[in-house]
Amino acid sequence: MMSVKPHEIETIHPFEDGNGRMGRLWQTLLLARWNAIFAWIPMESVLQQNRQQYYQAIEHAREANDSGVFIEFTLSALFDVISAQEKQSLKDKKLADKLPINVADKLTVAEVEFVKLLEPYFKENKWIGNAKAREITNKAEGSVKRFLRNLTDKGVFEIRGENKSRQYCLKK
C-alpha cells in the first residue's frame, strides 16, 4: 500500500515551506493505516539516513514522470530498516538465550543494553567488578551500581565478595 501522494507533494510543492516533511508525514500515516507497525518506523529518520538517494529518487521520478522510481526507493529503504531491526532482534534473542530462563522478558531496554555492553568481556572473563563495568559501559559509578544490583535481583548476575571486592558473573 504505497501512495504517490508523498511524491506528488514533493513535486508540486503546494506549501511555502515543509513540503518534504508533509510528504513524509503523509507517507507515514498511509503506511500506518495499512499496517500499525509502520507507525513505529520513523520515516523522517529513514529518509534522512538516505538523504542523497531520496533526492535522487525524487529527481529521477520527475524526469521519468513516473512515481514508481520514488516508491521503489521508499520500499527499499523500509526493507533495509526492517531487516536491520530483525537482525538486532536476533542478536537480542541470542543474548536472551544466554540468560537464565524467564529473565530476559523482565529486563528493561536499558538493562539489556548494559548486559550487551558487558557481553564481550564475559567471553574472556568469568567475573567483573564495578570499576571494570564502569570502564566498559562508560557509565557513572552510581548508575553501574544500580544496574548491577537490579540485574542481580532479577537473577542475571550472581555475586561473590563484599564491598569494594564484590564481583559479578552471569548466572548460567
**Domain final residue pick, 71, 89, 107:** 89
Q: Give the number of domains in the chain.
A: 2
Cell of 147: 544496574
**Domain final residue pick, 29, 56, 89:** 89
| Percent of residues, the chain, with pLDDT higher than 90 | 17
Whether 158 and 134 map to the same domain: the answer is yes
Q: How far apart are CA 141 and CA 112, in angstroms?
A: 18
pLDDT of res. 134? 93
Whether 28 and 66 map to the same domain: the answer is yes
Band (pLDDT 50/70/90 cuts) for residue 4 is very low
Boundaries of domain holding 106:
99-170
Which residues contact residue 60 at a Cβ distance below 8 angstroms, ignoring those fewer than 6 apart? 69, 70
Residue 162 has pLDDT above 80, yes or no: yes
Which residues contact residue 46 at a Cβ distance below 8 angstroms, ignoring those fewer than 6 apart? 77, 78, 81
Whether 84 and 103 map to the same domain: the answer is no
pLDDT of res. 1? 45
Q: Hey, how many other C-beta atoms are within 10 angstroms of the C-beta on 79?
A: 10
**Domain final residue pick, 44, 67, 89:** 89
Higher pLDDT, 95 or 111: 111
pTM here is 0.46
